[in-house]
Amino acid sequence: MSSDADYASFLEKANQNTSSVSATTAQASNYGTKSVDDGVEVPEVLRGREEVYVSDADEEFVGVGLRFGGSAVGAGTLFASLSSCPLSYVLLSTSIYRDFDPRGQYKGVVEAVQKAAGGEVRFFRVGLGGTRSEVWIVGVDREGGRLVGVKALVVES
């Protein structure tokens, strides 16, 4: 590599999404599942957060605002309508923060989601294929009839 620009170009190319997610879906969400439904707002406390989820990608958390008619988040109900691409999901923990973040790195993010959701949050990992997945921290805003929270891309090689 002869210059910083060449190296930056190399890194961008190496981090491109090569999964089989359709171009429309990937473009809308940057890397997999959608995070915002049309006409649904992401709560102010979750917008523009600068914390990153540490993995090979070190991606910022993205705000989530999805229509949700239920009163509790479960793995089956959460991802039923997120995307037409095939997904696998794993419930990381139903409510235990220390299982998700044993080092306390994401305390501010979790507290922001708790504030937006009015209490309980859940932690999920969504498999996107290969080494890519997403981490979701979400809760239900019952008054707004929406699922709110954040998600971040995870790349583990």
Walk along the chain (157 residues) in steps of 10 and give the mean pLDDT of each run.
69 61 35 82 92 94 88 64 55 68 92 92 83 89 90 92
CA angle 147, 151, 157 (to 5 degrees): 150
Question: CA-CA distances (angstroms) from residue 6 to 1, 3, 9, 11, 12?
Answer: 6, 5, 5, 9, 10
Which phi-psi region, left, alpha or beta, contains residue 37 (left: φ > 0; alpha: ψ -120 to 50)? beta
Give the model's pLDDT for residue 153: 92
Q: Domains in the chain, start-ordered, CATH in brackets?
A: 4-155 (3.40.1460)
Structure tokens at 20: 């089989």
Give the model's pLDDT for residue 30: 46
Give the model's pLDDT for residue 26: 34
CA distance 24 to 48: 23
Give the model's pLDDT for residue 48: 87
Give the model's pLDDT for residue 87: 61
CA distance 60 to 39: 23
pTM of the model: 0.72
Give the model's pLDDT for residue 16: 67
What sign does the dihedral 52-54-59-62 (CA atoms) show? negative
